[in-house]
Every structure is written in structure tokens, then in C-alpha cells.
Amino acid sequence: MQDRHPVTARAAQAYGDLADLAETVEDEWQYVNDLRDAYLPGILALAEAGAAGGAAGEGGEGGAITEAQAAALDEAIAEISLITDPHKAIDWLSTFPHVVALALDADLDGGVDASFGDSAGTEPDEDSPFRTLGGFR
Amino acid sequence: MRFQDAAKDARAVVYAGIQADPLVARAGALLAEATAAERLMARAAMNGERTDPDVWRRIFPTLFGEVPGDVAGAGAAAPGAAEAAVNRARAEAILAVSLEIAERGEAARSSYRGAVVEELTARLLARRAAPAAVKRERRVLFDGVRAEIHPYDVTVESDSQPEVYDCKWGARGINADVLNQLDDARAHAADEEISLAVAIVVFDARRSCEMRLDRSTAEHAGTRLIALESLDELAAAR
């Protein structure tokens, strides 16, 4: 087991760097910063939770992580650090936080689904024609 | 209102070749059986810089954990071993097909990814709709309305409850043109007293899609969003 904080802090730093690259696409500046504003605080919160400590395996957000979890984050950080195309960076700004959350089995602040395993669909509008389709909840 | 095959220009002919590639069908079939986490892995790997499968196994340890072996050498499988083995095999197959697409190169992979999302959408819809009713690359024509240039990626052509879908690899593909075309179709159908369900299917995180929609001034209140986490909604029984 190891402390969650260092690797999660590196993930937050890498995410910020990725956003810096992505915002060079001028037409997508707003979207890039919307993504940064939405996801980066959650990654930072995970790092801070790690720094605060806490028991591993108790479903909390602080404390230790396994070697496999740390390796997962380091590999994910390495992956996004290889990106030089700002358009690809935009795609990864949306993907990376969920990869982090899945690896840590944690919730990012703001509702990122940690497990990414359960349907997280929202209810359809009352007037939506999809409401007549039983499958669309 | 009626559906019509889209005219095939040169670009459409090239894209049709990609859509018909067995690799696309294989990816669509595997992703139709996948969990949301496996779909997230597929999105990452198809968009990755590296194509070494061990890299991706390390990034997604929850999908590639060790399968429990024999219990103390007694010859009896550990509890959950069979299920774990099936899950691991499925994850491996999804990873393999995702990396095969990634290896097509930067230029081709974006076309392949788009085709995969369409194939997946069509396969999931075919679980609840009559397979013959699920069609691809179709236009929708309305009386007295100039036809849209771009066809819909997937349609369910039912007399009682027609549906049209636009499919996107990423949230960035959500734009005013797409949203306007979908909403116009819904409104024109309503003029003919037809309840046309319109939706955008995005192989990306719901939260990112909603951010994109929140910034859009195009009308989209009547357009349903089906994002990566909830693709199975397409297949649920009517």
C-alpha cells in the first residue's frame, strides 16, 4: 500500500498541463475551460483527501492505495503526457478524470461516477417522446 | 413524413467501406456486451498514444485483475472464478479490438471510431426494435420542407414510434448544426402529428456532454442525450 496523495497530486498537475495544451484550440477555449473547471477540483480533492489520511478499503476517499492503483495512475499520467495534439488533448480532458476515478474506486467531487459501471442516465423530460418508450426510463 | 436512403457522394462511399469493415462489426458486437467501465477503457484505448496492451491493463486494473485460482490446490475453483474469467476474457477482447482500431493511424481511426459508435447504437436498438426497422444513413423527408443534406446515422423506422439518432464519438461533436437538425425534424414531425423521438448518442462522459449542451443556444429540450454511462438504455425493452 502507499499514500494516495503524491500520485493523485501528479494526476492533477498532468490534467492541468493537458488543459493548457488543449486551450490552444481557440474555438474550443470555453469548452476546455469548462472541462477544467468541472473536473480538476475533483482530482485535487482526491489528492487532498490522500494527504489528510484515512483508512484504505473503507470506502472513504482518504488514505492508502494499492500498488496496482498507483501504477494505474502513473500509467494514465504517462499516457496523457505523451499527447502533443491539442485536439486529442480535448478528448482526453473528458476521459482522464473518469479513468482516475475508476482506478481509485473513488468519487470525484461533483458527481463523477467512480465505478463507471452503473447506468447514470437522467430522467427524460415529461414531454419527451422518448417517455413513451419504456426503455428510456 | 417518410424515410429515404441518403444519396452517396464520394465521401459517403469511402465511409461506407469503413462501416462495412468486419473490424467495426466486431467492435460493435463486443461493446454491445460491455460494461460502462469497459466502454470507458475502449474510449481511452482507441484514443491512446500507445498500443501496448500491457499499458492499458495497468491503467485499468479493475478490469484485468487476477482470476481466482484453485482453492488451496483442492481442485475446486475459487468462488466467482468462472465469472471473473468470463469478465477478464471480455475485457481482453474489447482491449484487443480497441487497439486494433488505434493502430489504424490518426487519420483513419477517427472514421473508425465514428463507425463503431453507429454500429453499437444500431446493435443496441435492434435488441428491442424489429431488426429490419433499424437502418443506417437515412434522411427524413417532410411535406413542404426542404430536405436536410446530412442523413441520420441510425433510424428506427416504426409507423407508431419512429426514432432518429445522431452518433458522436465525443462531446465535442455536439454542435448547433446537429442539435438544430434533430430539433427541426422533431418539430416537422409534430406538424404532421407524428411523435418522432430524436436523440444524440455520444461515446463520452455524460457530464462532459451536458457541459457542451449547457453552452449551446440551439434548441435541444426535446432531444435526448444518451451518453457513455447509459448506452444500455438504447436496448431496454419497450
pLDDT of residue A111: 40
Choose from B35, B50, B52, B59 for mutation: most chain A CBs within 10 A. B59
Instruction: Give the confidence band of A118 by pLDDT, cuts at 50, 70, 90.
Output: very low
pLDDT of residue A109: 54
Residue B104's DSSP bridge partners are: none
CATH fold, domain B2-7+112-235, is Trna Endonuclease; Chain: A, domain 1 (3.40.1350)
Torsion angles phi and psi, residue B114, rounded to 5: -60, -45
**Which of B40, B161, B224 lies at the smallest CB-CB distance from A98?**
B40
Cell 423527408 found at: B141
Closest approach of chain A CAs to the CA of B106, in angstroms? 10
pLDDT of residue A57: 43
Please list the alpha-helical segments (H only) found in B20-105: 22-32, 36-46, 53-59, 81-102
pLDDT of residue B67: 66
Q: Are strands B134-141 and B2-5 parallel, antiparallel or unpaired?
A: antiparallel
Torsion angles phi and psi, residue B79, rounded to 5: -55, 135
pLDDT of residue A83: 97
CB of A94 closer than 8 Å to CB of A35:
yes
pLDDT in tens, A17-62: 999 999 999 999 999 999 999 999 999 988 777 666 544 444 444 5
Note the residue count of chain B: 238
pLDDT of residue A129: 39
pLDDT of residue A88: 96
C-alpha cell at A100: 482516475
Please list the alpha-helical segments (H only) found in chain A: 4-22, 29-52, 67-81, 86-104
CB contacts, 8 Å: B163 with chain A: 133
Residue ranges per domain, chain B? 2-7+112-235, 10-107
Q: How far is CA B160 from the centre of its chain?
A: 24
C-alpha cell at B206: 455524460
Asked if the model's pLDDT at residue A115 lies above 70, the reply is no
Instruction: Give the confidence band of A121 by pLDDT, cuts at 50, 70, 90.
Output: very low
Question: CB A120 to CB B206 under 8 A?
Answer: yes
pLDDT of residue B153: 95
Torsion angles phi and psi, residue B205, rounded to 5: -65, 140
Cell 465505478 found at: A115
CA distance B138 to B78: 51
pTM over 0.90: no
Q: Chain A neighbours among B 115-144 (CB < 8 Å)?
A: 128
pLDDT of residue A126: 42
Q: Mean pLDDT of successive 10-residue segments in chain B (238 residues)?
A: 88 88 97 96 97 97 76 62 90 98 91 96 95 94 86 94 96 96 96 96 96 95 96 84
Sign of the four-CA dihedral B175, B177, B179, B182: negative
Asked if the model's pLDDT at residue A130 lies above 80, the reply is no
CA distance A3 to A70: 9
Torsion angles phi and psi, residue B199, rounded to 5: -150, 155
pLDDT in tens, A63-108: 788 999 999 999 999 999 999 999 999 999 999 999 999 998 887 6
* Residue B97 near chain A (CB below 8 Å): no
